[in-house]
Structure 1
Amino acid sequence: MEDKKAIVVGISGCSSSGKTTLARLLRDIFSNTFILHEDDFYKPEEQLPVKDGLVDWDCAEAISVPDMEAALRHIHQTGTFPTFIASKEDQNTIGACPVPDSAISAQKARVASWLGPGQPGRAVLASGVNICLLDGFLLYTPAVAPVMAGLDIKLFLLVSRSKATRRREARDGYVTLEGFWKDPPGYVDHIVWPNYAESHAWLFEEGDVEGRLRKDVLRENGIQAQVGSGLDVDMSTTLEWAVGVIMGELERLVLGKGES
């Protein structure tokens, strides 16, 4: 591994696929971990594109990619949260946690065991490397290739159109640089889902984002997903999967395990 002070874990998927919920759970399970949100890199609202008469917050043009690149460089070089970012994302509500306390405790115990004496996690911890969880709706697409290249571990969450729509429409709204944003009627159908489908079609067979993932494309780009598990996997199962992937990838990246 290069001389990085932090490992950046990308957590991406459609809006309302559970990214922020998963990031917050992982932050509480792994030590020396902090969250960076793609939403903190939005351009000012007056600079955002308009689509079908609606302000489009859900496209690559709405995000300052150079600022995200700068933040990732800072994190890799220092292992710390970029002080030049005034994060607003944690002010947004995401509803009650869907994972029972017992399942969270089980994953905490799993990581604690991995960190025990003689275990690989102990060596990872001793390296002094921190973990940054980058939560974003648009991390794996050619439009943000420089950002994707800066991610060390890439997790991709799947969701059906119906569940994404239901969860998005249930949200109160979003804290923004200018104040507060509430989705206007039809926003998911006209903006959110079409943009997600267009940006992520390359990861799926025949471009169907509710269909089967292309394993060859995932492998070539180092993207990890719950292949074969279907859409709308419950968050307890997703959490268990994510913890396992991160532990294995940390061993590979920090300790060189599994490398030829």
Structure 2
Amino acid sequence: MTASRKAVVVGLSGCSSSGKTTLARLLRDIFPSAFVLHEDDFYKAEIELPKNNGLLDWDCAESLSIPDIIKSLKHIHGSGTLPPDLDSKEDQNSVGECPVSDTTVAELKARVKTWTEEGNAGHRILTDTSDPIRLCVFDGFLLYSKSLISVQPHIDIKILLRVSYAKAKARREARSGYVTLEGFWKDPPGYIDKIVWPNYVEDHKFMFEGDDVEGELKKSVVDDWKIAFPPGGLDVDMTTTLTWAVELLMEKLSGYVKLA
């Protein structure tokens, strides 16, 4: 990290309904000085969205303003804060009941608090009140696709969440819809099978053995791109994922030295 950077950006990516936003909000609540940036807040106006199979396609790179994403990440690295003109629509969307118990969240908060205390590896990383290095959790469905290759140099720690087709479909169909610039969007019939899952496969198959996004990740790709992922394969429960992510971030963040 250079002296000019005031934040560490951790990217959470994966298919729609893989648990990204839930995990992002939990990490924000557990780590001091943390905040969330949502890729979904960079959608273009609905009139500019491409169509696919006769449907508006919200699940492709062409639907996003990539220059605005990069501009925001540069601002975050430079100031340690969200851009002042960012009006988050994603924060208005519900992610449902928290799947992690209050007890587990409290235990992880205590674990992180101890880590930040004097004499421990996390001291002065996030809690230096004069000039802290803050943690930005950036969640998005396309962060590690080749179409967003220009965004990746602005992500310091990369995490990929994996989900099966069956689980992703069930979770997405359970949602009431999404707040947008124009109002509210509800998936039309067939949207998951015509848009969401095929796009996810097309953008991520290069990362998997035999192009099977429900199979094994290619070690050469995840090593080269420095992507971490929860152990246990598909559909890892959120308690296990959160505990793993907290330990990973403490380990990674301990490598950042507060620069004068």
Q: Tell me the TM-score normalised to structure 2 length.
A: 0.95
Write the deviation string for residues 180-227 of structure 1: whole angstroms up to 9, x where unpaired. Answer: 000001100000000001111111111110000112211111111124
Output the CA distance in 1 between the equivalents of 2:80 and 2:110: 25
Output the CA distance in 1 between the equivalents of 2:124 and 2:77: 19
Partner SS state of residue 135, structure 2: strand
Which of 172, 184, 187 is 2:188 aligned to? 184
Which of 156, 173, 177 is 1:169 aligned to? 173
Aligned residue number for residue 114 of structure 1: 115
Paired AA for residue 157 in structure 1: L
Output the CA distance in 2 between the equivalents of 1:83 and 1:174: 23
Output the CA distance in 1 between the equivalents of 2:230 and 2:121: 24
Aligned residue number for residue 254 of structure 2: 251
For 1:97-246, list aligned pairs within 5 A.
97-125=98-126, 126=128, 128-227=132-231, 229-246=232-249
Q: Does 1:70 align with 2:71?
A: yes
Deviation of the 1:255 alpha carbon: 6.4
Output the CA distance in 2 between the equivalents of 1:226 and 1:89: 24
Paired AA for residue 87 in structure 2: A
Q: Percent identity?
A: 56
Aligned residue number for residue 2 of structure 1: 2
Partner SS state of residue 253, structure 1: coil
Aligned residue number for residue 94 of structure 1: 95
Partner SS state of residue 252, structure 1: coil
Output the CA distance in 2 between the equivalents of 1:188 and 1:87: 24
Structure 1: which 5+ runs fail to align? none
Q: Tell me the TM-score normalised to structure 1 length.
A: 0.95
Write the deviation string for residues 12-37 of structure 1: whole angstroms up to 9, x where unpaired. Answer: 10000000000000000001111110
Output the CA distance in 2 between the equivalents of 1:56 and 1:147: 21
Paired AA for residue 92 in structure 2: Q
Larger deviation: 14-23 or 127-136? 127-136
Aligned residue number for residue 47 of structure 1: 48
**CA RMSD in angstroms, aligned pairs only:** 1.2
Output the CA distance in 1 between the equivalents of 2:248 and 2:206: 23
Greater percentage in helix: 1
